[in-house]
Homo-oligomer: A and B are copies of this chain.
Amino acid sequence: MSGKKAPGVDPARSLALLWGSHTKPGRSGLTVRAIVEAALGIADAEGLDALSMRHVAERLGVGTMSLYTHVPGKGELTDLMIDAAYGELYRDVDEPSSQPDGWRGALEFVAARNWDLYRRHPWMLQIVTPRPVLGPNASLKYEAELRPLDGVGLSDVEMDSVLALVLTHVEGTARVRAGLAQVEQATGMNEAEWWLASAPVLDKVMDASRFPVASRVGTAAGQEHQGASDPAHALAFGLARILDGVADLITRR
């Protein structure tokens, strides 16, 4: 009943960390900001698997445990990384609300920006515990993405739901793409090669007559996409259907 406390899950501490300015260096120049930047560099270049506290410290020329003076643990570090990545989204670019094509164009812009974000930082899709980040850049992102939906005839709750729907779709398709890329890099085989290596075994082991629709559709989709799936196509197709559905919702008013 008492509920044993997990270590370092103090929301106040995390929030203060997220919203702090992180600019006061200690006596060796170590800063939260520098730690986050080093971690981002590692994750971007070598993937999330290569992100370890030792590796970050090494890149900064600092003892491993020194990081813990500035950051409570790895979980909080990844939270900071995520918020920092969100910071790139609408920094030097027009906000979605200034897009010319109304709410639909704005949401397409939002989808494209997030899609690009996940391509630059595929590790974001592998962070295990998606505790809500609530950092300054996440808040800015939420505001910027919500604004073009304001005043188009949706309730406040619906605005939130529509945005979440689009973002979930982008994240899901981006995750598929990131997975394909990771497998491709890990195995050295691209999608077509993998299929080629699998096909003979699959034919031998899988009785196509048991899966008539699946084999017909799977073959057609495979031909079309040059592989088992085409994330870019899935993004565009799904977004079109979703926005059509949202249009229905709006015009029904």
Contacts and interface: CB of A to CB of B under 8 A. Distances in A.
A86 to B, nearest CB: 13
A188 B5 contact: yes
A142 interface: yes
Contacts of A142: 211, 214, 218
A161 interface: yes
Contacts of A186: 6, 9, 129
Contact of A214 (B139, B210, B221): B139
A25 interface: no
Nearest to A141: B214
Contacts of A132: 228-229
Copies of this chain present: 2
Contacts of A220: 155-157, 160
Interface of A: 3-6, 9, 11-12, 15-16, 19, 126, 128-132, 134, 136, 139-140, 142-143, 146-147, 150, 155-162, 164-165, 168-169, 171-173, 175-176, 179, 182-183, 186-189, 194, 197-198, 201-202, 205-206, 210-214, 216-218, 220-221, 224, 228-229, 233-234, 237-238, 240-246, 248-249
Nearest to A202: B15
A134 B198 contact: yes
Can you list the 7 inter-chain pairs with the closest CB atoms, starting with the nearest? A241-B245, A156-B220, A3-B188, A245-B245, A244-B245, A168-B172, A143-B214
Contacts of A242: 238, 241-242, 245
29 contacts: A4-B188, A5-B188, A6-B186, A6-B187, A9-B189, A11-B194, A12-B201, A19-B205, A129-B179, A129-B186, A130-B176, A143-B214, A155-B220, A156-B220, A157-B217, A157-B221, A158-B237, A160-B217, A161-B233, A164-B229, A164-B238, A165-B237, A168-B172, A168-B173, A169-B169, A241-B245, A241-B246, A242-B245, A244-B249
A241 B243 CA distance: 8
Contacts of A183: 129, 131
Contacts of A248: 241, 244-245, 248
Given A156-B217, A172-B171, A214-B139, A205 B16 contact: yes
Contact of A130 (B140, B146, B179): B179
